[in-house]
Amino acid sequence: MTAMGKLNVKNGTPVGSAHLCRSCNWAQIMTGYRESDLMVICTNTSPNVVVPFTMLDCTEFSDKHRPNWEQMEKLAIEIQPVRISTKTAGFSTEAPSRPVRVAAEDDEQPEAARLR
């Protein structure tokens, strides 16, 4: 008895039968009472073409559930720019720093200043 390993098939037949044309803007779909009663016409071609099989992929696919540019502009919220004050409340700008002269041990300073 031999053990069977996993078999990978590239570019094999896809599983499922979801018709890509059902969610396309260019499709005219007519369905009957039975599952086999389905007629799909692609209106993006000239002349229009009847699609005789379940479509998996299409170069001219246009998702009908996705809004177009005009619909997105209608839905967009217009945001006005907000004026930001130069001063932020509770904060102040720092004064420019100046170099501090550090006295060397050779400099003559009073004894009390050296002990600090």
Joined tokens for residue 110: 């009073």
Tens of pLDDT along 55-67? Answer: 888 888 889 889 8
CA separation for the pair 50, 39 (Å, rounded): 7
In a domain, 31, yes or no: yes
In a domain, 89, yes or no: no
In a domain, 40, yes or no: yes
Q: Closest Cα to residue 27, out of 67, 3, 54? A: 54
Range of the domain at 26: 16-56
Tens of pLDDT along 69-90? Answer: 999 999 999 888 877 666 666 6
In a domain, 30, yes or no: yes
Instruction: Identify the bridge partners of residue 40 per DSSP, sorted by sequence position.
Output: 29, 51
Please, what is the end-to-end C-alpha distance for the chain in angstroms? Answer: 93
Domains in the chain, number: 1
In a domain, 66, yes or no: no
pTM for the model stands at: 0.47
Mean of the per-residue pLDDT values for the chain?
Answer: 78
Element (H, E) at 49: strand 49-51
Tens of pLDDT along 13-63? Answer: 666 667 888 899 899 999 899 878 889 999 998 899 999 888 888 888 889
CA distances from 37 to 29, 30, 57, 69 (A): 11, 8, 21, 35
CA separation for the pair 42, 47 (Å, rounded): 9
